[in-house]
Structure formats: structure tokens, C-alpha cells
């Protein structure tokens, strides 16, 4: 199995959000992983090729979801803005 990495930053109106949650769900909606952002709002998830749905949120914000199609090894950037 070859892994890829989804990396990104979670912000709220341009300001990094520390300790935000980023959830990863697989192609059929099953929960796969959860990570928290670092003090600069950054996160990283290791996944295999496939279709993933990432959802980010923090206390006092709505959940924001984005799809990610990972086709092979390497890094994919997926940022979130929770300003909604």
C-alpha cells in the first residue's frame, strides 16, 4: 500500500484555528480518522488512494466538509475556512 498525505490549514476569517477537529470519512461515509490542528491551524492525515470526505470544525463554528480525490502518493493540500 502506498500512502498519500492530505495537509492543510483551518482558519476562521483568515486567522488560524488551533485545536480544531478534522475528521476523515471513507467512500461509503465510514469514519476513518480524526486529527486536531496545531497552534498554527495546520493538520495532516495519511491516507491511501481513494475518495475521502474531510470535515473541519471548532467550538462555536459550523462544520465545513470538502471532498478529496487522492490518486496516488504525494501531498494534497486542502484548506478550510470556518468563517461561514
Query: pLDDT tens digits, residue range 25-69?
Result: 998 889 999 999 999 999 999 999 899 999 999 999 999 999 999
Give the CATH number, domain containing residue 40: 2.60.40.10
How many residues appear in the chain? 84
Q: What is the pTM of this model?
A: 0.92
- Domain encompassing residue 47: 3-81
* Res. 1: pLDDT tops 60: no
Q: How many domains does the chain divide into?
A: 1
Answer whether 49's CB lies under 8 Å from 72's CB.
yes
Amino acid at each position: 500500500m502506498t500512502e498519500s498525505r492530505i495537509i492543510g490549514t483551518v482558519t476562521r476569517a483568515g486567522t488560524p484555528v488551533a485545536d480544531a477537529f478534522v475528521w476523515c470519512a471513507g467512500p461509503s461515509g465510514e469514519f476513518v480518522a480524526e486529527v486536531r490542528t496545531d497552534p498554527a491551524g495546520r493538520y495532516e492525515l495519511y491516507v491511501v488512494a481513494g475518495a475521502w470526505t474531510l470535515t473541519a470544525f471548532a467550538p462555536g463554528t459550523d462544520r465545513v466538509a470538502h471532498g478529496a480525490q487522492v490518486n496516488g502518493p504525494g501531498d494534497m493540500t486542502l484548506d478550510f475556512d470556518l468563517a461561514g
